């Protein structure tokens, strides 16, 4: 009870993290403790902060040319789309070992107290993995058309700018959006020729007879 009162009184994640060892040794977790955590908005905000500071996420899709995804993720068809060779990608062990399919559901992921202890990754590494995956690999059912896969990568495995370099052979093709400005198109084509000379280039055009996108070789 002393631990629970301390947590409720101060409402700080720091207190929670500091008493975890003592909790682990001397008591089982009660329903009261779980309700305290779930009702504490600051705790949820802190979880988001930890994820943002510790993890990078690579998002991929098996859907090659979806109108909505071009709108959501490529600035309304003005951006570009990369086609990645998964077999070549698997040679990049950091990504190959973490690439997982998104779970689409109408229910929030089940976050038990055991999993929440993963906020202290150093003390509870397995729980941390389960926590991050539950939060980052779950989306509402309405997004299932994306058929998304994600690779969750620790920031410590990334470059200082938060990026991870992929070998050139991983890129099978690049597609230019149908609303891309001519100036941007020329600049991107030049970059592709200079840095990805073996990569195929396509561009989307709006089909004049239906709502589809024509995928044309450049």
Dump pLDDT digits (tens) for 183-198: 999 999 999 999 999 9
pLDDT computed for residue 3 by the predictor? 44
Residue 8 confidence (pLDDT): 47
Could you report the per-residue pLDDT of 143-152, keeping only the tens digit for each?
Answer: 999 999 999 8
Total domains in the chain come to 1
Q: Would you state the pLDDT for residue 24?
A: 55
Q: What is the pLDDT of residue 175?
A: 97
Q: Per-residue pLDDT averaged across 82-90, rounded?
A: 88
pLDDT of 112 strictly over 90 = no
Q: Find out whether 203 and 176 touch, Cβ atoms under 8 Å.
A: yes
Q: Specify the pLDDT at position 104.
A: 97
Task: Report which of 190, 189, 183 is spatially closest to residue 202, judged by C-alpha positions.
Answer: 189
Residue 8 lies in a domain: no
Q: Is 12 inside a domain boundary?
A: no
- DSSP H or E run through 35: helix 31-38
Residue 67 structural domain: 40-217
Distance (Å, whole) CA 18 – CA 2: 13
Whether the per-residue pLDDT at 52 is higher than 90: the answer is: no
Among 35-39, 72-76, 95-99, the range of highest mean pLDDT? 72-76
Taking only Cα atoms into account, the Rg of the chain, rounded to an integer number of angstroms, comes to 22
Which tens digits make up the pLDDT trace of 133-181? 888 999 999 999 999 999 988 888 788 777 888 889 999 999 999 999 9
Which residues neighbour 104 within 8 Å (Cβ) at sequence distance 6 or greater? 139, 140, 141, 143, 144
Kindly state the average pLDDT of the residues 44-52: 79
For residue 70, what pLDDT is reported? 95
Percent of the chain with pLDDT over 90: 44
Q: What angle do CA 33, 36, 37 make, to 5 degrees?
A: 90
DSSP 3-state of 206: strand
pLDDT surpasses 70 at 63: yes
The predicted structure's pLDDT at residue 166: 86
In a domain, residue 4? The reply is no
Is the residue at 18 inside a domain? no
pLDDT above 70 for 31: no
Owner of token pair 């990078």: 56
Buried b (16+ CB within 10 A) or exposed e, 62-82: eeeebeebbeeebeebebbbe
Q: Which of 25-29, 85-89, 119-123 has the lowest mean pLDDT?
A: 25-29
Residue 191 sits at φ, ψ, to 5 deg, of -65, -40
Q: What rounded mean pLDDT belongs to the chain?
A: 82
Determine the Cα–Cα distance for residues 218 and 204; give it in Å rounded to an integer. Answer: 10
pLDDT of residue 34: 53
Q: Is residue 53 part of a domain?
A: yes
- Domain assignment present for residue 27? The answer is no
Q: Is residue 30 part of a domain?
A: no
Q: Considering the domain boundaries, does residue 15 fall inside one?
A: no
CB 83 within 8 Å of CB 172 = yes
Pairwise CA distance, residues 114 & 123, whole Å: 12
């Amino acid at each position: 009870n002393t631990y629970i009162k301390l947590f409720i009184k101060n409402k700080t994640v720091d207190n929670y993290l500091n008493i975890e060892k003592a909790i682990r040794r001397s008591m089982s977790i009660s329903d009261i403790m779980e309700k305290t955590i779930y009702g504490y908005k600051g705790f949820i905000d802190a979880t988001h902060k930890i994820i943002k500071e510790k993890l990078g996420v690579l998002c991929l899709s098996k859907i090659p040319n979806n109108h909505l995804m071009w709108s959501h993720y490529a600035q309304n068809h003005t951006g570009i789309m990369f086609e990645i060779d998964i077999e070549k990608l698997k040679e990049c062990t950091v990504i190959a070992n973490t690439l997982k399919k998104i779970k689409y559901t109408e229910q929030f992921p089940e976050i038990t107290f055991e999993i929440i202890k993963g906020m202290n990754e150093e003390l509870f590494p397995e729980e941390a993995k389960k926590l991050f995956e539950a939060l980052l690999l779950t989306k509402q059912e309405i997004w299932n058309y994306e058929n998304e896969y994600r690779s969750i990568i620790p920031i410590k495995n990334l470059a200082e700018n938060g990026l991870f370099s992929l070998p050139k052979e991983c890129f099978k093709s690049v597609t230019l959006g149908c609303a891309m400005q001519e100036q941007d198109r020329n600049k991107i084509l030049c970059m592709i020729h200079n840095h990805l000379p073996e990569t195929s280039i396509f561009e989307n055009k709006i089909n004049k007879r239906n709502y589809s996108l024509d995928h044309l070789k450049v």
